[in-house]
């Protein structure tokens, strides 16, 4: 079993205070908590008071190339910009890039030692727009395969693919 960490976002409860951006950027400052800069945050709040909406978006995977297509969302009859709700750090925009190094940013769930009871953006969201839960998922087989692959790769590097294959074939017969 593997542990899956989930931040649930209730858009209706977000008031656009941006406390989540402040604390996330402070946590990821160097040294930690030495400064704040929302552009360094791994969570950004899509802010559009005219459309009466604030949508927190957590930074996801980095992508090397921008999409060939675009999505346009219409919610309650209001149309939102292309890419508004996308989580990727992507070349087509400045969102989720470190302002100093330009390196992509990705939410790391505030990994810390000892672990935090909850991610900081959740702790600082006083309107409960962000809530945290952990759940167990079937994942053992996948993890074992991963370990096996890592092990096999190192064996192949050390002994060569043919030797490893011959050894596996011999052991399978025994
Ligand atoms: S702290 Fe909560 S209410 Fe404030 S902007 Fe972030 S998600 Fe919205
Ligand atoms: S979980 Fe932590 S790293 Fe991720 S957005 Fe929230 S404060 Fe930032």
| Tens digit of each residue's pLDDT (9 = 90 or more) over 34-58 | 999 999 999 999 887 777 889 999 9
Please state, in angstroms and rounded to a whole number, the distance separating the CA atoms of residues 118 and 65.
Answer: 33
What integer pLDDT is reported at residue 171 of this predicted model? 80
Helix axes 140-159, 161-173, angle to 10 degrees: 120
Whole-number Cα distances in Å, 98 to 3, 29, 41, 94, 129: 28, 11, 8, 9, 25
Please state, in angstroms and rounded to a whole number, the distance separating the CA atoms of residues 24 and 21.
Answer: 5
Best substitution site from 10, 11, 22, 54 to test ligand 1's pocket, by max atoms within 8 Å of Cβ?
54
3-state secondary structure of 163: helix
pLDDT band at residue 152 under the 50/70/90 scheme: low
For the segment 57-91, what is each residue's pLDDT rounded down to a tens digit? 999 988 888 888 888 888 888 888 888 889 999 99
State both tokens at 49.
């008071």
CA of 121 to the centre of ligand 2 (A): 6
State both tokens at 133.
């839960």
Ligand minimally distant from the alpha carbon of residue 126: 1
What integer pLDDT is reported at residue 112 of this predicted model? 87
**pTM value surpassing 0.85:** no
Best substitution site from 58, 89, 115, 122 to test ligand 2's pocket, by max atoms within 8 Å of Cβ?
58
Ligand 1 pocket, residue 127 CB under 6 Å: yes
Find out whether 53 and 78 touch, Cβ atoms under 8 Å.
Answer: yes
Q: Is the pLDDT of residue 154 over 80?
A: no
- Residue 121's nearest CA partner among 12, 19, 16, 9 is 19
Q: How many CA atoms lie within 13 A of 92 on its CB side?
A: 13
């Amino acid at each position: 079993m593997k542990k899956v960490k989930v931040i649930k976002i209730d858009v209706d409860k977000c008031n656009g205070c941006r406390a989540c951006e402040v604390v996330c950027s402070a946590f990821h400052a160097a040294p930690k908590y030495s400064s704040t800069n929302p552009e360094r945050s791994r969570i950004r709040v899509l802010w559009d008071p005219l459309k009466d909406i604030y949508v927190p978006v957590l930074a996801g995977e980095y992508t090397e190339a921008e999409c060939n297509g675009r999505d346009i969302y219409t919610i309650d009859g209001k149309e939102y910009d292309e890419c508004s709700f996308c989580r990727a750090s992507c070349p087509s925009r400045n969102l989720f890039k470190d302002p100093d190094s330009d390196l992509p940013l990705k939410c790391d769930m505030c990994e810390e030692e000892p672990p935090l009871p909850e991610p900081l953006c959740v702790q600082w969201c006083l309107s409960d727009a962000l809530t945290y839960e952990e759940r167990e998922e079937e994942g053992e087989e996948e993890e074992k395969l991963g370990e096996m692959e890592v092990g096999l790769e190192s064996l192949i590097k050390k002994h060569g693919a043919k030797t490893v294959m011959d050894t596996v074939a011999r052991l399978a017969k025994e």
